[in-house]
A and B are shown apart, each in its own frame.
Chain A
């Protein structure tokens, strides 16, 4: 419910002003609160935070989805963007590093 609160501009401001006080208002474990304070994105996922919820926090921080993807697998935003441009990762999670942009169409 904390992440959901960030859909409202006022709640975003309150969080920016005092993160710990804001988190104290929600029924979260100490571990969950710490993961938020530490911006431990993978930790938040493991503690039950689906990306569509945690991305709202990333947005408050001005972090893009690509930076968030990178943070969850130990890459910088630039490295992650490069992996995506070269075909993303295979099903095992290894970068394909293939040719640039893949296209198919009849237009």
Chain B
């Protein structure tokens, strides 16, 4: 049986990845953000998961209006960094865990979560920036990764409650696996931000902090937040926070908050990070 070593919620802002790639993390603009990542990286080293399930969204890299999977699991042995319009990030190739990924696919689909399955797809900043945040710049990522994509950029995205239930189904799948792996799950994206239109630049610290507070103690209330509330209160891209709810659903009902870091701004975004362990 798998040991679920923890859940991490983190933003996946592309410019955070660029700051790491271009050696800017100690510049005054970025330093306070990266200072907050040190404890998270230490946690990652100590937790030392064999596999991380990363719940993220693709940004017109592997998928687009041509094909819009609501939920998708990547089952390949490796995933190459995507060219998103500025060349692929110079980060290690992401190694998959096909055996666990296929077990997840089977368990989830027979549990009535009908995910799409991808054998080949590039992974964009949504997946690689969280790895950089948690692992810095290793020659190879210290863990295998199972990508789990959620559509949040083309209406209609799934509901927060559907995401919460998916998390619970992921947990049932992990609990029925026949190998003693250490697994972590990351929910990524957010927090409040709007990249486009006249309201570009929305930040709602009050909403974000309330979300962080309730995600641990009252996840069902967070799961019931409607799409329109995210858009009105946190900007058009704040809806990404539903992916944190998948992560929370995979954990026990009662969790311990290990660490939290919140910083405004990272480019156009309120950057949040939270680590939970089962209590």
Q: Is the CB of A7 within 8 A of B202?
A: no
Identity of the chain B residue whose Cβ is nearest the Cβ of A106 in the assembled complex: B260
Residues 76-91 of A contacting B (Cβ, < 8 Å): 80, 83-85, 87-91
Residues 51-68 of A contacting B (Cβ, < 8 Å): 51-56, 59-60, 64-66, 68
Known: A7-B84, A107-B38. A73 touches B201 (CB 8 A): yes
B211 within 8 A of A: no
A81 CA / B268 CA spacing, docked (Å): 8
List the A side residues contacting B198 at CB < 8 Å.
42, 72-73, 93
How close is B113's CB to chain A, nearest CB, in angstroms?
A: 25
A93 CA / B202 CA spacing, docked (Å): 6
SS class, residues of chain B in contact with chain A: loop
A27 within 8 A of B: no
Q: Is the CB of B82 within 8 A of A84?
A: no
Identity of the chain A residue whose Cβ is nearest the Cβ of B233 in the assembled complex: A91
A93 CA / B199 CA spacing, docked (Å): 4
Chain A contributes a number of interface residues (CB within 8 A of B) equal to: 47
Q: Is the CB of B200 within 8 A of A69?
A: yes
Chain B contributes a number of interface residues (CB within 8 A of A) equal to: 47
Counting residue pairs across A and B whose Cβ atoms lie within 8 Å, the total is 143
How close is A47's CB to chain B, nearest CB, in angstroms?
A: 13
List the A side residues contacting B200 at CB < 8 Å.
68-70, 72-73, 80, 89
Q: Is the CB of B268 within 8 A of A65?
A: yes
B197 within 8 A of A: yes
Q: Is the CB of B202 within 8 A of A103?
A: no
A102 within 8 A of B: yes
List the A side residues contacting B82 at CB < 8 Å.
7
List the A side residues contacting B267 at CB < 8 Å.
64-66, 84
How close is A16's CB to chain B, nearest CB, in angstroms?
A: 13
Q: Pick the most buried of B195, B209, B262: most chain A CB atoms within 10 A of its CB.
A: B195
List the A side residues contacting B270 at CB < 8 Å.
88, 102
How close is B1's CB to chain A, nearest CB, in angstroms?
A: 31
List the B side residues contacting A64 at CB < 8 Å.
15, 267
How close is B140's CB to chain A, nearest CB, in angstroms?
A: 25
List the A side residues contacting B83 at CB < 8 Å.
7-9
A80 CA / B196 CA spacing, docked (Å): 13
Q: Is the CB of A56 within 8 A of B260?
A: no
List the A side residues contacting B233 at CB < 8 Å.
91
Identity of the chain B residue whose Cβ is nearest the Cβ of A85 in the assembled complex: B265
A37 within 8 A of B: no
Residues 40-94 of B contacting A (Cβ, < 8 Å): 40, 59-61, 64-66, 82-87
Question: B residues touching A (Cβ–Cβ < 8 Å)?
Answer: 14-15, 32, 35-36, 38-40, 59-61, 64-66, 82-87, 153-154, 192, 195-205, 209, 232-233, 259-265, 267-268, 270
Of the A-B pairs whose beta carbons lie under 8 Å apart in the complex, a sample of 19, sorted by A's number, is A1-B64, A3-B60, A7-B61, A50-B60, A50-B196, A52-B60, A55-B195, A64-B15, A69-B195, A73-B199, A84-B203, A87-B205, A88-B268, A91-B233, A101-B264, A104-B209, A107-B35, A107-B36, A107-B259
